Amino acid sequence: MKTEEARAVLAELEKKAAATRAEIAEINEHRAGSSFAAHASADVEATQTLKKLNIDRIAALARLEELERAIAQARQLIAIAQTGEDEEAQRKRAEQARPIAERLAARGKRMDEAMAVVLAERAGIDADAEALARLGVPVANADLRRVNLRRWIDAATMSFDKHARPVPPGERTTAEALTTTWMRSSLQFIADKLNKAAARVAA
């Protein structure tokens, strides 16, 4: 039996029990009116009436006892049905939650992998810049690279949490914009050297 069905049954039983209690109260009222005449005056009619009222009262009390037992059972059925429905609801929520939890668990690995790439590329920038400097190619110095990359990572992680350092809109940039800007003069320097060498060979 479903919870709603059990609640409907309980409501009907409680309605019947209330009606039976009202009936018993009415019988008791009539008994009070007939008791004196039946016992003090030996009134035959009052005695018969009282006898019938007593029989009716016994029957009503028995009916009320049965109804109260049925009400108790109905409440147990509601509790059982509610427990079953709660467990089913919990099972459904668990089914919905599983892929979300698995997806969240996998995010950490991707974050680690992404951060490993960022750190490797950061180290690669310094390594490439130092290699270019050794070859005599002009390149952004270490302090400039450090400051600009710190500003880039601050801008990129502004939405990470409330403790992130804010970066004014005019100072926000991308890593690609930084590296291409830094290498613009370097590549131009290299191109000029190559063009001069090619010109000498052609001459």
**Domain check: are 131 and 176 in the same one?**
yes
Each residue's pLDDT tens digit, 40-70: 677 778 788 888 988 999 999 999 999 999 9
> Do 63 and 20 share a structural domain?
yes
pLDDT number for residue 163: 85
For residue 198, the model assigns a pLDDT of 80
pLDDT at 94 over 80: yes
Query: Could you tell me which of 51, 4, 5 has the C-alpha nearest to residue 31?
Result: 51
Q: Side chain identity at 129, as an amino acid letter? A: A
In the chain, the percentage of residues whose pLDDT exceeds 70 is 97
What span, in angstroms and rounded, lies between the C-alpha atoms of 53 and 31? 6
- Identify whether residues 68 and 143 lie together within a single domain: no
pLDDT for 111: 93
Residues 92 and 110 in one domain: no
Residue 36: which pLDDT band, with cuts at 50, 70 and 90? low
DSSP string for 138-194: ----HHHHHHHHHHHHHHHTTTS-TTSPP--GGG---HHHHHHHHHHHHHHHHHHHH
State yes or no: pLDDT of 75 exceeds 70.
yes
How many domains, the chain?
Answer: 2
- In terms of pTM, does the model score above 0.85? no
Domain membership of residue 75 as a residue range: 3-102
Q: Is the pLDDT of residue 103 over 80?
A: yes
Phi, psi of 47 (to 5 degrees): -65, -45
Residues 153 and 90 grouped into a single domain: no
